Amino acid sequence: MIGIYRETIKNIPSLIIVDTEKYEQPLPVFTYYHGFTSAKEHNLPQAYLLAQKGFRVVLPDSMYHGDRTDDLSKEELSFKFWDIVYQNLKDLQDIKHEMDQRDLILNRRFGVGGTSMGGVTTSAALTMYPWIQAAAVMMGSPKPVDFAKKLIKDVEQTGIQLPINEMELNDLYSSLQSIDLSANTHKLNARPLFFWHGDADPVVPFEHAYDFYNEIVEDYKNPENIRFLRDVGVDHKVSRFGILEMVNWLEIVL
Residue 74's pLDDT is: 84
Concatenate the DSSP letters of all residues of 193-224 into one string. Answer: EEEEEETT-SSS-HHHHHHHHHHHGGG-SSGG
* Position 162 pLDDT exceeds 90: no
* Position 163 pLDDT exceeds 90: no
* pTM of the predicted model as reported, rounded to 2 decimal places: 0.97
Per-residue model confidence as pLDDT tens digits over 120-151 = 999 999 999 999 999 999 999 999 999 999 99
Per-residue burial over 183-209, b = 16 or more CB atoms within 10 Å of its CB, e = otherwise: bbbeebeebbbbbbbbeebebbbbebb
Per-residue model confidence as pLDDT tens digits over 194-232 = 999 999 999 999 999 999 999 999 999 999 999 999 999
Does residue 126 contact residue 181 with C-beta atoms inside 8 Å?
Answer: yes
Residue 165's pLDDT is: 87
Residue 81's pLDDT is: 96
CA distance 241 to 244: 5
Residue 44's pLDDT is: 98
* Position 75 pLDDT exceeds 90: no
Q: Other CB atoms closer than 10 Å to residue 105's CB: what's the count? A: 18
Q: What are phi and psi of 78, to 5 degrees?
A: -60, -30
Residue 225's pLDDT is: 98
- Mean of the pLDDT values across residues 63-79? 91
Q: Strand pairing of 193-198 and 12-19? A: unpaired
* Position 161 pLDDT exceeds 90: no
Residue 157's pLDDT is: 85
CA distance 123 to 128: 10
Q: Read off the amino acid at residue 63.
A: M
Residue 76's pLDDT is: 87
Phi-psi domain of 248 (left: phi exceeds 0; alpha: psi -120 through 50; beta: other): alpha
Query: Residue 71's pLDDT band (boundaries 50, 70, 90)?
Result: confident
Q: Read off the amino acid at residue 169.
A: L
Per-residue model confidence as pLDDT tens digits over 8-66 = 999 999 999 999 999 999 999 999 999 999 999 999 999 999 999 999 999 999 999 99
Residue 164's pLDDT is: 84
Per-residue model confidence as pLDDT tens digits over 84-125 = 999 999 999 999 999 999 999 999 999 999 999 999 999 999
What is the number of helices (H) and of strands (E) in the chain? 8, 8
* Position 158 pLDDT exceeds 90: no
